Amino acid sequence: MADPKFCNKCGSSMPAGSKFCPECGSIVEGTEFEKQRTKEMNDMVRENGFNTVKFLLTIYAIPIIIIGIIDIVNASANANALWSNQSFQEWLKTQTLFKGLTLATLTDYFTYLGYLAVISGIGAAVSLVFVTIRRYWLFAVIGCMVAAIFCFWSIFGLFIGFFVTWMILDLKPFFEEFQGEGQ
């Protein structure tokens, strides 16, 4: 434990029992006040972590499920609109990879994209539930991974999905089933 008669930051002498240095104002290390302050800061950081994860999962899950459902419902109309576009038809003629593309296949692509979006959104929503209740950490991680993997069609979504998964991994000690471990 640090010598309570001198400040560890500026070296000024302090009266015994001081909580703060009278010269620089820093908290005296090793005191109960410093320990309590550290615990409060750790609790605040943990809460901010949970709140950030919940915010990111919410702003992803809800809109992507809605967009996916709309895409599934409107797959035929979207495919028809794209198929009837003259610029698309001209582009399509230059592409050997899409040589056999038909309107039915294009409709299927739009439908599949909608299903991928819905599955990704559901994964994020499942993760959100478990993060919110702070239980079943593994299911929160798996839900977020499902959201990230099924969002492979968007590099931004994929990156954010893995980033949020990493954040959930970091919050493991604060889930109910891990409380008290390692203490």
Residue 99 lies in a domain: yes
Residue 158 lies in a domain: yes
Residue 63 lies in a domain: yes
Q: Residue written as tokens 């949970």?
A: 50
Q: Yes or no: say if 150 and 161 are a contact pair by the CB < 8 Å rule.
A: no
Q: Yes or no: say if 124 and 57 are a contact pair by the CB < 8 Å rule.
A: yes
Residue 159 lies in a domain: yes
Average the pLDDT over each of 12-26, 49-63, 66-80 and give the range with the smallest value. 12-26
Q: Yes or no: say if 4 and 28 are a contact pair by the CB < 8 Å rule.
A: yes
CA distance 119 to 127: 12
Domain ranges, residue 150 = 49-178
Using the 8-state DSSP alphabet, how is residue 13 labeled? Answer: B
CA distance 119 to 165: 16
Residue 10 lies in a domain: no
Q: How many domains in the chain?
A: 1
Residue 20 lies in a domain: no
What number is the average pLDDT over the span 20-32?
A: 75
Residue 183 lies in a domain: no
CA distance 131 to 3: 43
Percent of the chain with pLDDT over 90: 53
Q: What is the pLDDT of residue 137?
A: 93
Percent of the chain with pLDDT over 70: 92
Q: Yes or no: say if 54 and 128 are a contact pair by the CB < 8 Å rule.
A: yes
Residue 119 lies in a domain: yes
pLDDT, tens digit, for every residue of 151-183? Answer: 888 888 888 899 999 999 989 988 887 766 554
